[in-house]
Chain A
Amino acid sequence: MGATVKPSAADHDLAARDTETIRIPVSGMTCAACQSRVQRTLQRHPGVADASVNLMMKTATVTFDRSSVSPESLVEAIRETGYGAELASSDLTAFEEQEARDRAQVEEYRELRRKALVSGIAGVIAMVISMPLMSQLAVHAHGAVADPFMRWAMESLDPAIRAAFPWMYQVPAPAIAWTLMLVTLGVMAWAGRHFYTRAWAAFRHNAADMNTLVAVGTGAAFLYSVLATVAPGFFISRGVTPDVYYEAVIIIIALILVGNMFEARAKNRTSSALRALVHLQPKTARVVRFEQEVDVPVETVEQDEIVIVRPGERIPVDGEIVHGESAVDESMLTGESMPVAKRQGDRVIGGTMNGTGAFRYRATTLGADSMLAQIVRLMRDAQGSRAPIQRLADRISGVFVPIVISLAIATFVGWFVLAEQAPAVRAFAAAVAVLIIACPCAMGLAVPTAVMVATGKGAELGVLIKGGEALQRAGDIGTIVLDKTGTVTEGRPTVTDLIPSAAFASDERSTELLRLVASLEASSEHPLADAIVRYARERGLGLSTPEAFEAVTGRGAQGIVDGSGIVVGSEAMMRDWALDAGTLRETAERLAGDGRTPMYIAANGELAGVIAVADPIKDSSREAIARMHAMGLEVVMLTGDNRRTAEAIARQAGIDRVVAEVLPDGKVAEVKRLQAEGKVVAMVGDGINDAPALAQSDVGMAIGTGTDIAVEAGDVVLMRGDLRSAAHAIALSRRTMRTTKQNLFWAFIYNVVGIPIAAGVLYPAFGLLLSPILASAAMAFSSVSVVTNSLRLRGARIA
């Protein structure tokens, strides 16, 4: 289909240079002439090595020189030919971004693993061969080995090594020291290289990070050891043991690499939910083009194109079914576990899974506007936002490293001046331990990892939380305000009761009565009338056209259907016809007491029954409200309905506080009033009518209906039109805040306790001193523990 032109000789040079191939979706091409015109234009464009345009796929594949041509100019060139072109929108790159990040993380993990393994082995070997060295040095000067870990290792391992490799003890000390120096240099230059290069890069920017601490700590230990190896006489003449720390340098590097490796893997898992969403997007779609079914890249699908979905396939783009029916599993987007039945006219969402049916549908929203892209963008933005609780951690991270370096220097000076024995050695070991144990990473990871895992967990439950701040505030919610219509209730009036009078009690007569009433109401525009008509149609009743119809405002409707005079309406309406509600009055009052709207029916001048319509409570609402109460939340319902109906609904749903007869703009005032009482208020409502109240509340939760997420309104979007999600959102937020606080606590405490111990504050009292090796182990695992704690949120029982 697509003709390809061979690159000319001049272009060959170009191909060798910095070339790149991109695919640009082109729209508006209808024939082969269009195709060749676009193709020719691109091929003539300076800096383009090769271009081919595919009419069927509606794409241009262009290989060009990156240094002289920008993708934007290619798009411009296509547009000048009169066709539409656009680079893959930024949200398709959201998918690519995720993939790039995953690739980078996998690569990072593998590299760290390789380096950790090799330096770990080198560390063990170095430790073994330094045993004879240490015992020889111990003979030299009576000073104890400065590193307590190595001292322990020597005491426990030395005899074993002496027994196994007695020849090693014959090797002269300088030879061992020089060997160790070379091994250490190798490990530092290969496995530890990035610590030094990155520390240096940061240093040039007057900045310092974790790498700075590792680089300064190990670098100082190494230089000290080199000095002791090259000029041991200098040390001995001053009464200092020419101790070397080679094995410590290697083991510290190995342990930190192991820690980084685990951290990389754990960090990768924090975005697993987002990754799962990104991978929902199918790469191709089967569309009808030029009366043929073709598989095309999904980004080339145009609006209103017909897409074909077969059983068990993933739905490629959003759209509306034009033919066929099926059940679709939307759980990945809404958290709703039951498949949703879809037929002609229903909307389907790209990324969801088709069941056993097959259908054709018309593509509606595409690319960046698609539901999946919106959700991905929303989640990515959420993960980019910062929770207010993070500010303190941020402030500390910014000044942390220079302060630790200052503390390390102070530690050195303190030990040097105060230590009785081998002051320089002790001072040095303690200063290195301070540098190595300090861990700014744990603090930096404490909040973002928890927010990432929580937003992902929320998405799995069909709860989209728009950021760290919303998450934090949702954790403090004490009062939850529910809009009645569409939130607590279905939002759609339905016939709940049809109670015929004695004369119409037989099945046959009551069905006929319903048919006549529905036929009359079919002419009415009242929402309650619509409920009656729907009710009759659902029962398969064929409706007639009334011979006469009259609506009586505020009372009801009357008319003639199939020769019968029918009146439907209030008691006042009945009185107009001189009918007494009589025994049915009691029934009607009972129904009204339950929050339903009863209407009397008269047929041919005789009272025939009562029909009641109500907006029923959603099945899930009662359970959700019970859950909210169990969580200690105050539940308030707002409605424009009269007090009696409102209270009946509230009673059935188990709500303790009702504010009835609220005008649409009164909701904001009500939320304000609750806030003035000092309450932290969440408002749950639909994203359109309740938008101002959602904005006023501390946390606005917009209820979605699965196919139409009002992503603009609210801090939280409940994908399933189900109140249980609101309870989930709050439970998840509370749990997340707990995790965040634990993380921050441990990250702070770790440094607050670890640094002084490393500096030796416990030494005078308990003789306790931390080895730099132990310090590196502690440091390496502190960030891993923070990320792991955040990951525990994934398994938290919220729903």
Chain B
Amino acid sequence: MQTITTTEWLVIAGGLAAIAWVNWYFFIAGRAQPVAIASGATAGPARVTIVVDGGYSPAQVKVKAGAPVTLLFDRQDDSSCSEEIVLPDFGVRRFLPTGQQTAIEVTPPKPGRYEFMCGMSMLRGAIIAED
């Protein structure tokens, strides 16, 4: 085998750096996603609007455990990837029409993290229930 040239060393280093960046960006940087606190109207359940556009913004919603919360999914993209919203802990799978808000009311029974995702589990978000 030939000796490794400088160019090849550069490619190896560049490749490793690129891999590191990809993993950092998608796995670690993603965790610092914005968190919204569902705000309650004077009466009725707390509401929060989640924009669906290639992902969920905000992707994390803080709510009070044991209290109902209405998630308003506002779908702005037309990718078939995001056409469904699934809340497996609550047995909900709903179709989100593009350009519309779809309200889903759930009540997290106890403190904890309740994930929601697209129909194929690629896009993810979570309800964080606290006391």
Residues of A within 8 A of B (CB): 97-98, 100-101, 104, 108, 194, 198-211, 260, 264, 380-381, 383-386, 393-394, 397-399, 401-402, 405-406, 409-410, 412-413, 416-417, 440-441, 444-445, 448, 467
Q: Show 24 A/B contacts (Cβ-Cβ < 8 Å), sorted by A.
A: A97-B94, A101-B83, A108-B80, A201-B54, A201-B55, A204-B54, A204-B55, A206-B26, A206-B55, A207-B124, A260-B80, A380-B93, A381-B92, A384-B86, A384-B91, A397-B120, A401-B26, A402-B22, A402-B23, A402-B26, A406-B22, A410-B19, A417-B8, A444-B121
Partner of A205, one of B8, B57, B91, B94: B57
Residues of A near B119 (CB, < 8 A) are: 444, 448
The reply to whether A264 and B80 contact each other, CB–CB distance below 8 Å, is yes
Stretch at the interface among B10-18, B61-69, B106-114: B10-18
Bound Cα distance A402, B4 (Å): 28
The reply to whether B53 and A201 contact each other, CB–CB distance below 8 Å, is yes
The reply to whether B55 and A205 contact each other, CB–CB distance below 8 Å, is yes
The reply to whether A205 and B22 contact each other, CB–CB distance below 8 Å, is no
Residues of B near A203 (CB, < 8 A) are: 54
Bound Cα distance A467, B94 (Å): 15
Q: B44: shortest Cβ distance to chain A, in Å?
A: 10
The reply to whether A417 and B97 contact each other, CB–CB distance below 8 Å, is no
Bound Cα distance A332, B16 (Å): 60
The reply to whether B88 and A194 contact each other, CB–CB distance below 8 Å, is no
The reply to whether A208 and B93 contact each other, CB–CB distance below 8 Å, is no
The reply to whether B122 and A444 contact each other, CB–CB distance below 8 Å, is yes
B81 at the interface (CB under 8 A from A): yes
Residues of A near B27 (CB, < 8 A) are: 399, 402
The reply to whether A206 and B29 contact each other, CB–CB distance below 8 Å, is yes
Bound Cα distance A417, B12 (Å): 8
Bound Cα distance A475, B80 (Å): 31
The reply to whether A210 and B94 contact each other, CB–CB distance below 8 Å, is no
Residues of B near A440 (CB, < 8 A) are: 120, 122
Bound Cα distance A409, B57 (Å): 30
Residues of B near A380 (CB, < 8 A) are: 93
Q: B17: shortest Cβ distance to chain A, in Å?
A: 9
The reply to whether A198 and B26 contact each other, CB–CB distance below 8 Å, is no
The reply to whether A413 and B12 contact each other, CB–CB distance below 8 Å, is yes
Bound Cα distance A104, B81 (Å): 13
Known: A201-B79, A209-B81, A417-B11. 5 other contacts (CB 8 A): A198-B54, A202-B123, A206-B29, A412-B11, A417-B12
Residues of A near B95 (CB, < 8 A) are: 97-98, 100-101, 104
Bound Cα distance A799, B93 (Å): 29
Residues of A near B57 (CB, < 8 A) are: 205
The reply to whether A444 and B123 contact each other, CB–CB distance below 8 Å, is no
Q: A44: shortest Cβ distance to chain B, in Å?
A: 25
Bound Cα distance A202, B78 (Å): 13
Q: A103: shortest Cβ distance to chain B, in Å?
A: 9
Closest to B59 in A: A205
Bound Cα distance A29, B59 (Å): 46
Residues of A near B54 (CB, < 8 A) are: 198-205, 207
Residues of B within 8 A of A (CB): 4, 8, 11-12, 14-16, 18-19, 22-23, 25-27, 29-30, 33, 53-57, 59, 77-81, 83, 86-88, 91-95, 97-98, 117, 119-124
Bound Cα distance A204, B80 (Å): 18
Q: B123: shortest Cβ distance to chain A, in Å?
A: 6
Binding site secondary structure of chain B: mixed
Bound Cα distance A208, B30 (Å): 11
Bound Cα distance A384, B124 (Å): 16
Bound Cα distance A745, B10 (Å): 39
Bound Cα distance A397, B56 (Å): 17
The reply to whether B30 and A413 contact each other, CB–CB distance below 8 Å, is no
Closest to A416 in B: B11
The reply to whether A417 and B120 contact each other, CB–CB distance below 8 Å, is no
Q: B13: shortest Cβ distance to chain A, in Å?
A: 9
Residues of B near A383 (CB, < 8 A) are: 93
Residues of A near B14 (CB, < 8 A) are: 413
The reply to whether B11 and A198 contact each other, CB–CB distance below 8 Å, is no
Residues of B near A416 (CB, < 8 A) are: 8, 11
Q: B81: shortest Cβ distance to chain A, in Å?
A: 5
Residues of A near B11 (CB, < 8 A) are: 412-413, 416-417
The reply to whether A386 and B88 contact each other, CB–CB distance below 8 Å, is yes
Bound Cα distance A151, B42 (Å): 70
Residues of B near A199 (CB, < 8 A) are: 54
The reply to whether A198 and B19 contact each other, CB–CB distance below 8 Å, is no
Known: A211-B79, A394-B121, A416-B11. A104 touches B55 (CB 8 A): no
Q: A390: shortest Cβ distance to chain B, in Å?
A: 8
Closest to A444 in B: B120
Known: A264-B80, A384-B86. A409 touches B18 (CB 8 A): yes
Bound Cα distance A410, B12 (Å): 9
Known: A202-B55, A385-B88. A209 touches B123 (CB 8 A): yes
Residues of B near A412 (CB, < 8 A) are: 11, 15
Residues of A near B23 (CB, < 8 A) are: 402, 406
Partner of A207, one of B30, B78, B86, B88: B30
Residues of A near B117 (CB, < 8 A) are: 394
Indicate the member of A108, A383, A384, A394 with the most B CB atoms within 10 Å: A384
The reply to whether A398 and B80 contact each other, CB–CB distance below 8 Å, is no
Residues of A near B87 (CB, < 8 A) are: 384
Q: B87: shortest Cβ distance to chain A, in Å?
A: 8
Q: A784: shortest Cβ distance to chain B, in Å?
A: 14
Residues of A near B18 (CB, < 8 A) are: 409
Known: A410-B19, A417-B4. A467 touches B121 (CB 8 A): no
The reply to whether B91 and A409 contact each other, CB–CB distance below 8 Å, is no
The reply to whether A207 and B123 contact each other, CB–CB distance below 8 Å, is yes
The reply to whether A445 and B33 contact each other, CB–CB distance below 8 Å, is no
Closest to B83 in A: A104
Closest to A384 in B: B93
Q: B37: shortest Cβ distance to chain A, in Å?
A: 19
The reply to whether B122 and A384 contact each other, CB–CB distance below 8 Å, is no
Residues of A near B8 (CB, < 8 A) are: 416-417
Residues of A near B124 (CB, < 8 A) are: 207, 398
Bound Cα distance A380, B77 (Å): 23
Closest to A404 in B: B22
